[in-house]
Chains A and B, each alone.
Chain A
């Protein structure tokens, strides 16, 4: 049993997907999250169990709409999608063939078949296909293999592969929500990376996979799809760096107490028996790096926020910075009022805080 297995306890590791891998780049400085993710711990379950459930629910309306949009695009052998890609990638019509890889049942079989088809396409064999629907790719994350399922991979003449990402947020007059596009771009970058590694392993040039991905979204207020090319080079470099740091998670894990575990100790019917307080203690042993942005990105956010109460970081990065980097609210205020005397390395912050407090006091009675 590795130390990561021990941390997770006697359950299957939580599977990563492109979204969770993308989320690794949301707060890469947080050891707590890095350890949890590397060990495959179900953060959502853990958070609920200790009384801080995450609120990342999805509305069934959103799910239905997303599925309907994808189904519409892929109906009749991807007819509509093909039309779009022809425009966006200048795909010649005669090469439009279609491989549905989703229909294969078994994961390993699907991955193998995907690899076979994609590498064959890379070597430029005749009739190698143009569209690959839901191919199954693999990527090593923190020492474990993760299966990934891009919506579609398109191959253009001239041998370039393009990852196609279907999203149901709208592109209105050529513009879309920057946060959503960013998330989609990071997820697509995960696929690009996995596909590049697949080709490289098979001895092909990884750069056959384009760093431009095709984002397909509904246009304006309609169901009509529109394709936009998104350059994910920056996302790729961040992702590669983060994945290589994940591989070095051992250093953090080794620094933890050898009997630390987040095992929920379920009984025979699967009901956790572990006292929540032990888990909370355990979480406290792994350094966190909470900021309010976590609320949108991490299942443990409500717990970490609770833990971070009274810190300037919990008020936001810019607040902490403006308070001279002093980490606790109480200390910042005592330095400001002069009731605490600063350590030598706090002198400057203290002087600034006193001055700010004086100005406020002068005006707010």
Chain B
């Protein structure tokens, strides 16, 4: 929570409606996302109860497990979901584009679009992860055979769940997360986890304040929970009798009534997000997602194993390194794309905005073997400057150019510039900020970081338990009970 967001929350209380905390959209939104609202049975270890799923608002498909404790019915549910999800995924395996990889040393093919799953909340992401875990190791032959689509579903769900951990990925997105990134409500983040309440603040019905709408949204009779957990009163008074009655239509009606309000909210969220202009780096991150998608399609086609249950030591360290790099890049990209995000860094002193008051674009540095062009500019900052000499900063307006702080006196910051000025000893016109130009400089950087080197898993050192046993899915995984 930053002070700017906190202030926006306070303003939302006063205004009676949520306040924007982003000027652009930072998530990618597919033109046909797959909206997926799962429900699970209370008390059971992640037993599916029902789901509403579909890629257009008009055609939600209801999936129900009539007897949630019945193993066959659960796998039946998984098979139906697999059919929907896998064919949705397959529908993106068409057109590809050729892209340079490995810093231009190689090329590869990449799908021009990729699937996107939207779930209501963090619990929905958890459901995807665990449902993936409970299905991906199943066998399609032998004693515990399941529908061949089931383990494939499991791998895809796991793939999506792992992408959801990756900072900046838009392949599996929770609606509360996406909305909360763009609006501050007049309630707490704990309460924002309720999708209906969150939307009540962002777009209250006519004649209502956000607070009133949110209060109403907390009533499980009017707005059933967005899952995966159901309302206990619903369980006791509606669901239990419906299951007992043995009438599928009664049960389906009961569950549809629980799910449909959320379905509507999901698509309302989609339209709200679509109405925001996309940040200019959103497409770049989506391209990463498409790359990851393409890679996994290939991996599955080649018959790769399902994802392991746990990361071994090397895999864990590698993944952490990747996540850390992605996090740093994502933070920088959002700030570069969005002055409101950048303002948070201005407030904490990691960025400053100001006007150029002096510029010596022709300054040369002759101290080294070769003379090099190193213009100096002086920026008069509007913000308190907490950065000191020696620190390197970049302006989002000129991302290819670095500035090293030479000195700070009062609000005047002298920067020595390098990069983005061609190779000669004179700067091309416009490549050095001119007097009067307004710029923001920040320590955030989106520059390339070389990936770290790790030992191979066979070289896992003794400090970390030595090389792990090779993982081969076994009968036990396939047979794993599912009570």
Q: Is there a direct interface between A and B, measured as CB atoms under 8 Å apart in the complex?
A: yes
Residues of A whose CB lies within 8 Å of any CB of B are: 55, 57-66, 168-170, 172-174, 218, 220-224, 292-293, 295-296, 309-310, 312, 314-316, 318-323, 329-330, 332-333, 336, 352-353, 355-357, 359-360, 362-364
Q: Are A329 and B1 in contact (CB under 8 A)?
A: no
A44 smallest CB distance to B (angstroms):
14
B339 within 8 A of A: yes
Docked Cα-Cα span, A144 to B7, in Å, equals 46
Which residue from A55, A65, A329, A355 sits with its C-beta under 8 Å from B44?
A65
Docked Cα-Cα span, A5 to B346, in Å, equals 56
Residues of B whose CB lies within 8 Å of any CB of A are: 1-11, 13-14, 19-20, 23, 41-47, 130, 133-134, 186-191, 211, 220, 230-233, 235-236, 239-240, 309-310, 339-340, 343, 346-347, 480-483
Query: Chain A residues near B190 (CB, 8 Å)?
Result: 292-293, 295-296, 316
Given A59-B232, A292-B190, 11 further pairs, Cβ under 8 A: A65-B43, A65-B44, A172-B133, A173-B310, A220-B134, A222-B480, A292-B189, A316-B188, A322-B7, A356-B3, A364-B20
Query: Chain A residues near B133 (CB, 8 Å)?
Result: 172-173
B367 smallest CB distance to A (angstroms):
39
Q: Are B13 and A329 in contact (CB under 8 A)?
A: yes
Task: Give the residue among B4, B10, B480 with the most A Cβ atoms within 10 A.
Answer: B10
Q: Are B310 and A221 in contact (CB under 8 A)?
A: no
Query: Chain B residues near A63 (CB, 8 Å)?
Result: 43
Docked Cα-Cα span, A58 to B233, in Å, equals 8
Q: Are A356 and B7 in contact (CB under 8 A)?
A: yes
* A319 in contact with B14 given A62-B42, A221-B481, A363-B23 (CB within 8 Å): no
Query: Chain A residues near B7 (CB, 8 Å)?
Result: 322-323, 332-333, 336, 353, 356-357, 360
Which residue from B6, B191, B309 sits with its C-beta under 8 Å from A292?
B191
29 A–B pairs (Cβ distance < 8 Å), ordered by A: A55-B220, A59-B236, A61-B239, A170-B45, A170-B46, A172-B45, A220-B45, A221-B45, A221-B46, A221-B134, A221-B480, A222-B45, A223-B483, A292-B187, A310-B13, A322-B5, A322-B7, A329-B10, A329-B13, A333-B10, A333-B14, A353-B3, A355-B347, A356-B4, A356-B7, A357-B7, A359-B347, A362-B343, A364-B19
Docked Cα-Cα span, A309 to B214, in Å, equals 13
Q: Are A312 and B482 in contact (CB under 8 A)?
A: no
Docked Cα-Cα span, A293 to B189, in Å, equals 10
Closest B residue by C-beta to A66: B43
Q: Which 5 residue pairs are nearest across A and B when measured between Cβ atoms?
A: A62-B43, A222-B481, A322-B6, A65-B43, A57-B232
Q: Are B45 and A315 in contact (CB under 8 A)?
A: no
Query: Chain A residues near B480 (CB, 8 Å)?
Result: 220-222
B127 smallest CB distance to A (angstroms):
13
Q: Are A323 and B481 in contact (CB under 8 A)?
A: no
Closest A residue by C-beta to B49: A61
Q: Are B347 and A319 in contact (CB under 8 A)?
A: no
Docked Cα-Cα span, A222 to B46, in Å, equals 10
Closest B residue by C-beta to A328: B10
Docked Cα-Cα span, A220 to B47, in Å, equals 11
Query: Chain B residues near A355 (CB, 8 Å)?
Result: 347
Query: Chain A residues near B14 (CB, 8 Å)?
Result: 329-330, 333
Query: Chain A residues near B9 (CB, 8 Å)?
Result: 315, 319
Query: Chain B residues near A222 (CB, 8 Å)?
Result: 45, 480-483
A295 smallest CB distance to B (angstroms):
6
* A218 in contact with B45 given A224-B481, A314-B188 (CB within 8 Å): yes
Which residue from A173, A332, A336, A357 sits with its C-beta under 8 Å from B309?
A173
Which residue from A64, A168, A296, A364 sits with its C-beta under 8 Å from B23?
A364
Query: Chain B residues near A315 (CB, 8 Å)?
Result: 6, 9-10, 13, 186-188
Task: Give the residue among A170, A296, A322 with the most B Cβ atoms within 10 A.
Answer: A322
A319 smallest CB distance to B (angstroms):
4
Query: Chain A residues near B11 (CB, 8 Å)?
Result: 333
Q: Are B232 and A360 in contact (CB under 8 A)?
A: no
Q: Are B1 and A318 in contact (CB under 8 A)?
A: yes
Query: Chain B residues near A168 (CB, 8 Å)?
Result: 43
Task: Give the residue among B3, B46, B235 with the most A Cβ atoms within 10 A.
Answer: B3
Closest B residue by C-beta to A62: B43
B478 smallest CB distance to A (angstroms):
13
Query: Chain B residues near A60 (CB, 8 Å)?
Result: 235-236, 240
Q: Are A316 and B481 in contact (CB under 8 A)?
A: no
Task: Give the residue among A318, A332, A360, A363 with the most B Cβ atoms within 10 A.
Answer: A360
Q: Are A61 and B44 in contact (CB under 8 A)?
A: yes
Q: Are A359 and B13 in contact (CB under 8 A)?
A: no
Query: Chain A residues near B19 (CB, 8 Å)?
Result: 364
Docked Cα-Cα span, A65 to B343, in Å, equals 51
Query: Chain B residues near A309 (CB, 8 Å)?
Result: 211
Query: Chain B residues near A65 (CB, 8 Å)?
Result: 42-44
Docked Cα-Cα span, A63 to B43, in Å, equals 7
B21 smallest CB distance to A (angstroms):
9
Which residue from A224, A295, A320, A360 sits with its C-beta under 8 Å from B8?
A360
Closest A residue by C-beta to B13: A329
Docked Cα-Cα span, A32 to B44, in Å, equals 36
Query: Chain A residues near B4 (CB, 8 Å)?
Result: 356, 359-360
A318 smallest CB distance to B (angstroms):
4
Query: Chain A residues near B211 (CB, 8 Å)?
Result: 309
Docked Cα-Cα span, A62 to B159, in Å, equals 30
Task: Give the residue among A57, A59, A170, A223 with the most B Cβ atoms within 10 A.
Answer: A59
Q: Are A352 and B3 in contact (CB under 8 A)?
A: yes
Task: Give the residue among B2, B5, B483 with the most A Cβ atoms within 10 A.
Answer: B483
B471 smallest CB distance to A (angstroms):
12
Query: Chain B residues near A357 (CB, 8 Å)?
Result: 7
A321 smallest CB distance to B (angstroms):
8
